[in-house]
Amino acid sequence: MNRAGWKAILRTLWQTSMVGAWTLVTVQAATVRIDTSRAPALKAWADSTETIAREWYPRLGNLLATTQDHPLPNVSIRVNPDFKGVAAASWSSIQISANWISQHPEDSRGAVIHELVHVVQAYPPNKVGWLTEGIADYLRYAIYEALPLSEFPRPEKPQGYLDSYKVTAGFLFWLECDRAPGIVRQLNTALRLGEYQETLFSERTGRGLNDLWSDYLTALRPLPNLPRDPQIWRHAKGSFEHKTNGNWTEFENGKPVWNFIEMSRTPQYIEIVDGTRNLRLRLASPMVQLISKSGWSTLYTGEWSAPSSTKPPAN
Ligand SMILES: [Zn+2]
């Protein structure tokens, strides 16, 4: 064999051994240990929680993976009888209150998941604590606890997303399901790299953060039921009226302008379609909604009115 041949073999051996070493390093999962030496009565709780934490910790790491190399550290959780708060993470060590576990056993595993997310996050200092906590509660409630979106609190106020924790978590959950799938991972990467800017929301959705919050409230607000025999839906400049053949006509300034076919009816809205313009609307109180690529949005505000009424409602 010539020199080049030997070199090729040596290079292959070297690369194979490197791949072997690399595989060994990456398959070695980080562990989670729970120390109950100061709260021995909680040993059974710790054993079952440790199993769950060991399953979920790498998963949380995968869900929030960035392109940057970010190995997970081993985590130690101390059950502390003197701890005044509920639970807190500092780098890879978590403290949790022994009293609180005893009083809220049903919440305590979720609290551990929340703190494990903080270990995974490992963000440099930033001014968006609401988002850091929102991401932790999103993974806890929406993913780990599988809570339905309708059960997240939604305060009816501008910038409610700043309420942090479970409120922000619900907002992120809606964005993931509706306007911006994958945004949590994208936000996490930006926060980890210290590159987060609020414009990330508008770049993804075409809507600013405040507008998205308002869209979220509208989308989740329960609609009132339809009137018993819905015939006319009015807004400031026109109406949608039920025809004798069961379909609908849109009027503007008293003149018929477009025809719609009624597609379906739920207790809250009637869905109508104008095939010539590929337009799908929902007639509901207090708005007509229009479907587009980004989901349902409000086209007009107005309400159902009795056939005898000629006055459009105040808008
Ligand atoms: Zn937290």
What does the pLDDT read at residue 20? 40
CA distance 86 to 108: 9
Q: Determine the distance separating the centroid of ligand 1 and the alpha carbon of 178, expressed in angstroms.
A: 25
The CA 158 to ligand 1 mean position distance, Å, reads 23
Protein residues placing their CB within 5 Å of the ion ligand 1 = 133, 136
Amino acid letter for position 21? A
Which single residue is written with the structure tokens 């309420």? 163
Strands (E), the chain: 32-35, 75-80, 87-90, 93-97, 232-235, 238-242, 248-252, 255-265, 270-274, 279-283, 287-292, 295-305
CA of 94 to the centre of ligand 1 (A): 11
Q: What is the pLDDT at residue 68?
A: 72
How many angstroms is it from 65 CA to the middle of ligand 1?
19
User: Do residues 135 and 117 lie in contact, with contact meaning Cβ atoms separated by under 8 Å?
Assistant: yes
Residue 113 CA to ligand 1 centre (angstroms): 10
The Å distance, Cα 119 to ligand 1 centre, comes to: 10
Distance from residue 115's CA to the centre of ligand 1 (Å): 6
- C-alpha 136 – ligand 1 centre gap (Å): 6
pLDDT by residue for the chain (315 residues), tens only, comes to 566 565 655 555 444 444 444 444 444 578 999 999 999 999 999 999 999 999 999 999 999 988 777 789 999 999 999 999 999 999 999 999 999 999 999 899 999 999 999 999 999 999 999 999 999 999 999 999 999 999 999 999 999 999 999 999 999 999 999 889 999 999 999 999 999 999 999 999 999 999 999 989 988 888 889 999 999 999 988 999 999 999 999 999 989 999 999 999 999 999 999 999 999 999 998 888 888 776 777 888 889 997 654 555 555
Tokens of 176: 């993931």
- What's the CA-to-centroid distance between 89 and ligand 1, angstroms? 8
In angstroms, rounded to a whole number, what is the distance separating the alpha carbons of residues 28 and 21? 11
Cα-based distances in Å from 88 to 61, 77, 210, 239: 18, 10, 30, 56
Residue 13 is predicted with a pLDDT of 47
According to the CATH classification, is domain 3-219 in 1.10.390.10? yes
Asked if 169 and 140 touch (Cβ cutoff 8 Å), the reply is yes
Question: Which pTM value belongs to this model?
Answer: 0.73
What is residue 221's three-state secondary structure?
Answer: coil
- Å from CA of 181 to ligand 1 middle: 23
C-alpha 153 to ligand 1 mean position (Å): 17
- What's the 132 CA to ligand 1 centre distance in angstroms? 7
pLDDT at 266: 94
List of residues 6+ apart from 179 with CB closer than 8 A = 204, 205, 207, 212, 215, 294, 295
- Domain ranges for the chain: 3-219, 232-305
Span from the CA of 217 to the centroid of ligand 1 (angstroms): 24
Distance 162 CA to ligand 1 centre (A): 14
Opening angle at CA 296, ends 248 and 277, nearest 5: 45
The angle formed by the CA atoms of residues 132, 200 and 63, to the nearest 5 degrees, is 50
What's the gap in Å between 129 CA and the centre of ligand 1? Answer: 9
Separation of CA 286 and ligand 1 centre (Å): 38
| 100 neighbors 39 (Cβ within 8 angstroms) | no
